[in-house]
Amino acid sequence: MAASTYREAVRSALREEMERDPDVILLGESITGYGGSYAVTRGLVEEFGSHRVMETPIAEAGIVGFAVGAAMGGLRPVAELMTVNFALLALDQIVNSAAKFHYMFGGQWSVPMVVRTVSGFGQLGATHSQSFEGWFASVPGLKVVMPATPADAKGLLLSAIRDPDPVIFIEHSLLYSTRGPMPDDPAALVPIGRARVARAGTDVTVVAYSRMLLQALQAAEALEREDGCQCEVIDLRTLRPVDYPTVAASVRRTHRVVLCGEDWRSGGFGAALLAELQDLCFDDLDAPIARVAMRDVPLPYARNLEQALLPSSEQVVETVRSLL
């Protein structure tokens, strides 16, 4: 079985879709000569030309608006927004244009486009270290994907580009260099809207996505080793629509659930997930639904202060123990 880094998995999905479909174009800031802020698109402009790999002005709203129009004109644009923090400048185009047109104009056309963007941190300061997946996931009309593994990054991006609706595809800066196995079939799609049981267990369900999946899996190993506790770890993969059937089926077996995310606790994605799960699973629960989330503090620069805030595997361990 072949292995790949997360970065190379994203790049190969882009390259293969561009080879397969001449209507797929990429656009974003410094994605050509520079190769993208996280080097994901390196080499693609040489391969496909500047009419398909477009260097844009620093204009996030314009980039997304342009991509919406390109999609309406028959292309399959993949817009890169350097980080999810900069995506705030494009919120209007994402929420009021991309997400609305199919419904608001009575189904006359859809907007087949992908916004690729990046969550993460690493002493980047308060404006460059945020997680906003919950905001996007609250908007009907969007699909929101947040892969944790290289195989899912590739398979979900292939699905996202082929999907006729707008997809917000959030990568994670601290995952780009991670390596993982890739499927034997390089063209294998991972369906949007399907969670994956990343580790089977019987005692507690731990729901995670993106980088928190790795923290959750580490925590599950520690809990097995130190407490003999078997965690079932679910990788949500898609945040809209959420695969509630998979999560609920797990909670019906374990009767306990911990929700993990890196966004702020108040109003974060986990808060919405919790509310929905309480409706779905209340009778199955033996303990209140617990959360691991970012404290409601802007991310500081100093390394020790930042570390004090970041959700970690230790926090997952402690939270699981609090339920047992």
Which residues are catalytic, by number? 60, 128
Scan residues 194-213 and list those touching other proteins (CB under 8 A).
194-195
| Separation of alpha carbons 160 and 164, rounded Å | 8
Q: Is 156 in the site for other proteins (CB under 8 A)?
A: no
Question: How many angstroms separate the Cα of 19 from the Cα of each of 22, 95, 165, 190?
Answer: 7, 30, 21, 19
Indicate whether 101 belongs to the interface with other proteins (CB under 8 A). Answer: yes
The conformation of residue 93, written as its DSSP 8-state character, comes to: I
Distance of closest approach, residue 21 Cβ to other proteins, in angstroms = 6
Stretch that binds other proteins, among 35-43, 209-217, 241-249, 272-280 (CB under 8 A): 241-249
Contact call for residues 210 and 145 (beta carbons, < 8 A): no
Q: Least distance from C-beta 22 to other proteins, angstroms?
A: 9
Of the candidate spans 109-117, 171-179, 226-234, 295-303, the one that interacts with other proteins by CB under 8 A turns out to be 109-117
Among 141, 261, 270, 311, binds other proteins (CB under 8 A): 141
Residues in Cβ contact with 32 at an 8 Å cutoff, skipping those fewer than 6 apart: 41, 45, 50, 53, 54, 55
Alpha helices in 52-141 (DSSP H): 60-72, 91-92, 101-104, 133-137
108 vs 304, beta carbon nearer other proteins: 108
- Tokens 């097995």 label which residue? 224
Considering only CA atoms, give the Rg of the chain. 19
Binding test (CB under 8 A) with other proteins, winner from 71, 84, 115, 145: 71
Nearer CB in complex with other proteins: 145/214:
145
**What angle in degrees, to the nearest 10, is found between the helix axes of 211-227 and 313-323?**
50
Q: Which stretch binds other proteins (CB under 8 A): 41-49, 102-110, 147-155, 177-185?
A: 102-110
Give me the least distance between CB of 67 and other proteins, in Å please. Answer: 6
CA atoms of 19 and 162, how far apart (whole Å): 13
Structure tokens at 130: 């945020």
Give the x/- contact pattern for other proteins in 1-40, rule: CB under 8 A: -------------------xx---x---------------
Q: Which of residues 294-323 bind other proteins (CB under 8 A)?
A: none
Q: Would you count residue 59 as binding other proteins (CB under 8 A)?
A: yes
Task: Measure the CA–CA gap between 308 and 189, rounded to whole angstroms.
Answer: 38
Interface segment toward other proteins; rule CB under 8 A; list 97-105, 148-156, 178-186, 269-277: 97-105
Residue type, 46: E
**Would you give the end-to-end CA distance of the chain in angstroms?**
38
Name the minimum Å distance from CB 16 to other proteins. 11
Shortest distance (Å) from residue 146 CB to other proteins: 15
Three-class SS state of 4: strand
**Helices vs strands, H then E, count in the chain:** 12, 14
Residues 175-194 that bind other proteins (CB under 8 A): 187, 189, 191-194
The CA-atom distances, in angstroms, between 232 and each of 150, 156, 217, 309, 323 are 21, 22, 9, 25, 14
Residues that bind other proteins (CB under 8 A): 20-21, 25, 51, 54, 56-57, 59, 61-77, 92-93, 96-97, 101-110, 112, 140-141, 143, 159, 162-165, 187, 189, 191-195, 238, 241-246
